[in-house]
Structure 1
């Protein structure tokens, strides 16, 4: 009986250690606070835990693991297993995906933004560039077209944009520079302070960020139809961590991406539905830019910046024209599918 009891105890320990061996815990680095921009990350964590009965869990950290400009560096050294970053924070590190930040691409909604982003993410040039950072592109963080909030008199013409100090990164910053504005690329978490201290006159964000970072609380006006483009913010995983997953856990992670994105889109749609109420509550004036001014903005920003980007990429051995054409073809095919 004594031997039987010992064998039973050993068997129990073996099962316990076996269970421990297959358990996977990932740390995920994002920033700010939980908001519409991070809901797909939260949903992904929820799904993988539920589908694996808690054997695969994700700890989502809002700034506790890394600064937002350093998330890709953290992924490269394995400081954490998953992270979110925005291409405009360090365009030299993620040149390929900056095609998605070119101004006036014509992306009309979040579903189209998902389609073009994931098409670019799947391109070999994107895979190769991210591999240099030991990163695998997992999913996008789709955002609507950016618009600006500002204080004082509304700015509704290109002449008004002359000398305007605007928080805008990546291709958006270049677009505003093309019409005489002065862009600054402070991070999202620094935008409110920059606006409060007068470092910038205006801030370009998607709606959720104007809410989350409080810039809407300092605003007198908001451009409802400027729509110059958006910022691309991928979610990536450390390649070593991804490849070390069991086949079952890797399959669960991969299959949960579309579900997480779908949840994100549904959640963001609710935010957009109440946006007009937010503006009314805070006394923010909606500014409509005329068609003539929008056309002039596109003429100065879209074609020249795109041509310069393509030439720059091609000179670095990156297929810039092919990537731009991929975005346009994907947009066309997505609309046909709808």
Structure 2
């Protein structure tokens, strides 16, 4: 799956590079300098915005630059959307789970068990979803336009004790699982708890819970969970945070047309960079875990069906009911995700 996405986007990258190599084809325009706010250091998560920033600078021969500010230098992550509205900077990365009340419609992408484990399908579905009129208007209230997904990897579980080789194995198990993932696991009989990421290692070591869900694989490695874990799941894909890159509408509106076009043209290159970065990280981490002797659990289609029907579907139903009561076209948005996922898989020959 990863290889196909890399190959598709790599071709786009090659084509763009060929254009950049010809000075006469450089996009002309005024001097423009933007700032982009993101939390944490440069990492796989930021590979997309780094590639996009580089592409735009090269295409304009340095006339349009986007400076990335890491580590909350401009704003704390949960405050990025508010500061986009205030005009503090022109671009930012956000995670919609940080402030769900501000944009209930887009929170459909935070639901558990969505069929978005394949990164290529993930990218296609998110791009269509972000352009839905309701979502566009939802973000206009924040002076924002949702540009592209960060392709946050699906979560998996890593834990100690007896490995849950079936969904029944989670019954009674205490797990660190947040939001919709936690709700889905509760439906399976697990006992979810909310613990800040930096505290997971010590809590797991002390037996506060037996397993933790994190984005696969980089987050487990970042918090050193493989040092004490005995097993991990490989294909449960219980959920993923929706973390898009947003652009300030007022700033975007001031750009000349030739600069605006660069954002869409650069997205395939940015997505290719994200997939490549995550792929390299996964390859290294999985090799390390194999050396440590961790057991890899791959669930059968029948077990995954149980997760979808018993764990995830009731969470979808509750979300639709609660948000429809608020005036959100919740069922329409959920159906959009599911239908676009089917279309994407059929288009890519993965149905």
TM-score norm. by structure 1 comes to: 0.83
Give per-residue Cα distances to partners, 1:214-269, cap 9 Å, x unaligned: 33344322112322232211111122222233333322233212221122223333
Deviating more after overlay: 151-160 vs 93-102: 151-160
Instruction: Give the match for residue 129 of structure 1.
Output: 138
User: Once the 2 structures are TM-superposed, how far is the Cα of residue 196 of structure 1 from its aligned partner?
Assistant: 6.1
Who wins on radius of gyration, i.e. which is larger?
A: 1
Q: Does 1:300 align with 2:329?
A: no
How do 1:98-113 residues align onto structure 2 when only pairs under 5 Å count?
A: 98-113=107-122
Matched residue SS, 1:26: strand
Separation (CA, whole Å) in 2 of partners of 1:328 and 1:41: 27
- Give me the whole-angstrom Cα distance separating, in 2, the residues matched to 1:313 and 1:120: 17
State the secondary structure of the residue aligned to 1:92: helix
Partner of 1:212: 222
Q: Is 1:39 paired with 2:47?
A: yes
Of 315-324 and 189-198, the range deviating more from structure 2: 189-198
Aligned length: 318
Give yes or no for the alignment of 1:51 onto 2:59.
yes
Q: Work out which of the residue numbers 237, 259, 266 in structure 2 matches 1:256.
A: 266
Unaligned residue ranges in structure 1 (runs of 5+): 1-20
Residues 185 and 264 (structure 1 numbering): CA distance in 2 closer, same or farther, change over 3 Å?
Answer: same
In the other structure, the counterpart of 1:178 is: 187
Give distance in 1, aligned partners of 2:309 and 2:246: 35
Change (3 A) 1:262 1:27: same
Q: TM (normalized to structure 2)?
A: 0.80
Distance 1:57 1:89, change over 3 A: closer
Aligned equivalent of 2:321, options 311, 317, 322: 311
Shift of 1:167: 3.5
RMSD: 2.7
The CA deviation at 1:158 is: 4.3
Distance across 2 between alignment mates of 1:238 and 1:192: 38
Pair 275,85 (structure 1): closer, same or farther in 2 beyond 3 Å: same
